[in-house]
């Protein structure tokens, strides 16, 4: 669900143009109607509001570049800022170009225009940016696949009969309730369906205990599917059914080969930057191969040490705005991430973005859920306790294709 910089820049430009253009047109129309369709007045209005419209475009564009237009509150703030700053600055430019001196009355007189000639611009901008501007931004910035598959598809895999035999590395083994795990998996899949996703089951792997953690078998970036090669030899057979599905969906296929190893759970995509964990399951050669696959496609691949947990995404994940969240006790080096936000619970480090405003996470991290709600997100929680006993989390139970 992260958005590439190219896509975000295009969305920001077009959102700014749509917002500023509609407001500018609205002001011309209003003056044209108010003065009995006088073309001279319309021309004068165009000259007067041109500077304000250009400044409004810049403000909306800036909010879009930082990913804030995707949220209703961010778009509303953008509308308020643009509605106030643009007409005030634009009118100042108009007045100064006419040679009016700056004295103690300059600022109050300019500010007063927000209640007179610029009032319509203010109202129109506040109304337009969170509606039309945000709609344009979201329609263009929504991350989807570049292959033939439809957007918002999640690949999932039924828990194996021998799930209780799944591997553990950094935690003590606990007894698994297989029936509870099945019902939790059903609730997890249902959460995707309830938020507009289509789920597709990959072929059942009855005797591959860890196969429910389907994310480890592949990394999907745009229209490319990179088939993993786990550092755990017992898990390498899990890729077969996953690869079949992705080939059928039309993805380009690359494969990590010997002596390289890589688990999908060690890969975190944040825009054009891809973080890869150097863990017990992913080695240096696997990272080098992975980098060779993605660098020609315009991605920066950053290697991250992982020594305190099984996978990179057992320690950090990313919010839709690109902020990386994690727990200090699990993260080896938080300075490698451009924006890092510590969360209060280890179970809260993993989130799946169901859309730009909605996060799916474990029910075992209520304090983190509340923190994310305070940041403006809708948070959906699911109980995945049986999978957490096997070092699983909400990210590794699916492969999101859109």
Known catalytic residues are 311, 396
Of 222, 332, 340, 196, nearest in space to 277 by CA: 332
- Bridge partners for 198 per DSSP: 153
- Decide if 362 contacts 349 (C-beta within 8 A): no
Q: Give the integer Cα–Cα distance in Å for 393 and 400.
A: 14
Q: Give the integer Cα–Cα distance in Å for 113 and 111.
A: 5
- Decide if 318 contacts 290 (C-beta within 8 A): no
Phi/psi at 4 (nearest 5 deg)? -70, 155
- Bridge partners for 274 per DSSP: 269, 301
Distances (CA, A) of 329 to 236, 342, 344: 30, 10, 10
- DSSP for 155-218, please give it: EE-PPPTTGGG---SSS------HHHHHHHHHHHHHHHHHTT-EEEEPPP-TT-TTTT-GGGGE
Q: Give the integer Cα–Cα distance in Å for 238 and 229.
A: 9
Q: Give the integer Cα–Cα distance in Å for 392 and 265.
A: 10
| Residue 276: other Cβ atoms inside 10 A | 25
């Amino acid at each position: 669900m992260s958005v590439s910089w190219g896509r975000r820049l295009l969305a920001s430009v077009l959102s700014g143009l749509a917002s500023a253009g509609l407001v500018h047109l609205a002001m011309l129309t209003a003056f044209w109607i108010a003065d009995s369709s006088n073309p001279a007045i319309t021309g004068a209005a165009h000259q007067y509001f041109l500077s304000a419209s250009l400044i409004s475009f810049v403000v909306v564009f800036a909010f879009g570049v930082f990913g804030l237009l995707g949220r209703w509150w961010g778009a509303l703030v953008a509308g308020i800022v643009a509605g106030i700053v643009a007409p005030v600055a634009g009118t100042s430019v108009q007045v100064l170009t006419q040679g009016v001196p700056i004295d103690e009355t300059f600022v109050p007189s300019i500010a007063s225009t927000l209640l007179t000639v610029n009032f319509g611009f203010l109202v129109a901008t506040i109304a337009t940016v969170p509606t039309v501007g945000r709609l344009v931004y979201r329609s263009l910035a929504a991350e989807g696949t570049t292959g033939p598959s439809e957007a918002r598809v999640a690949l999932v895999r039924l828990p194996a009969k021998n799930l209780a035999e799944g591997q553990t590395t950094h935690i003590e083994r606990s007894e698994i309730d297989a029936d509870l795990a099945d019902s939790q998996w059903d609730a997890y899949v249902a959460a995707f369906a309830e938020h507009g996703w289509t789920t597709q089951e990959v072929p059942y792997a009855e005797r591959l205990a860890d196969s429910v953690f389907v994310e480890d078998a592949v990394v999907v970036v745009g229209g490319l599917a990179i088939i993993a090669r786990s550092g755990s030899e017992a898990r390498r057979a899990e890729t077969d059914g996953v690869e079949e599905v992705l080939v059928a969906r039309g993805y380009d296929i690359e494969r990590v080969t010997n002596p390289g190893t890589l688990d999908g759970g060690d890969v975190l995509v944040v825009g054009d930057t891809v973080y890869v964990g150097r863990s017990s399951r992913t080695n240096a050669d696997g990272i080098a191969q992975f980098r060779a696959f993605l660098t020609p496609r315009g991605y920066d691949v950053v290697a991250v040490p992982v020594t305190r947990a099984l996978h990179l995404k057992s320690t950090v994940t990313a919010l839709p705005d690109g902020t990386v969240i994690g727990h200090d006790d699990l993260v080896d080096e938080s300075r490698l991430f451009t924006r890092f936000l510590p969360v209060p619970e280890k179970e809260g480090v993993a989130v799946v973005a169901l859309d730009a405003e909605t996060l799916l996470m474990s029910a075992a991290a209520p304090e983190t859920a509340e923190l994310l709600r305070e940041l403006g997100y809708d948070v959906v929680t699911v109980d995945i306790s049986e999978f957490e006993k096997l070092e699983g989390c909400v990210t590794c139970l699916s492969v999101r294709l859109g």
